[in-house]
Amino acid sequence: MTSSERELIIKTYFHMWVDRNFSSLDKIFSADIYYSECYGPEYFGLSEIYRWIDDMLEKQQVLAWEIKQFIHEKNTNTVVVEWYFKEQQNLNVNDFNGVLSLNFQLMVKLVLLKNLNQNQNTQLLIIRRDY
């Protein structure tokens, strides 16, 4: 998979949050996905991810999730993304910068995602697709 194809997958995921449309999420994430958020919650499987997303869509609107830059690590299938995130919950608007580390394996699907924001919270997302 080329760098451009990896970037497209990442952009697609980011845009899903802004557009509030996750209809193609199962094309990016495997059915047995593991997702761990920075503040502790863990989700096992795509069905749990969809329930979490539905819950987040009820209370949060992502106003922006913009990519500042991609850094492709040579010979590792890893992409690091620097980003800016802005969201609204109720009347509160929050924004912060962060860094995302993604690892692509097997048919070059997303396998590992680590998310760090300016408050040094971390997020871990593992996507495994077996072929």
Q: What is the mean pLDDT of residues 59-69?
A: 97
List the single range of 22-36, 49-63, 102-116 with lowest mean pLDDT: 102-116
pLDDT reported for residue 29: 78
What percent of the chain has a predicted confidence (pLDDT) above 90?
A: 42
Asked whether the predicted pLDDT for residue 41 surpasses 90, the reply is no
Q: Quick check: 89 pLDDT over 70?
A: yes
Residue of higher predicted confidence among 35 and 19: 19
Per-residue pLDDT, averaged over 99-113, amounts to 59
How deeply is 123 buried, as exposed, middle or buried, from its count of CB atoms within 10 A (0-12, 13-18, 19+)?
A: middle
- What average pLDDT does the structure give for the chain? 80
For a pLDDT cut of 70, what percent of the chain falls above it? 76
> Could you tell me how far CA 19 lies from the centroid of its own chain?
14
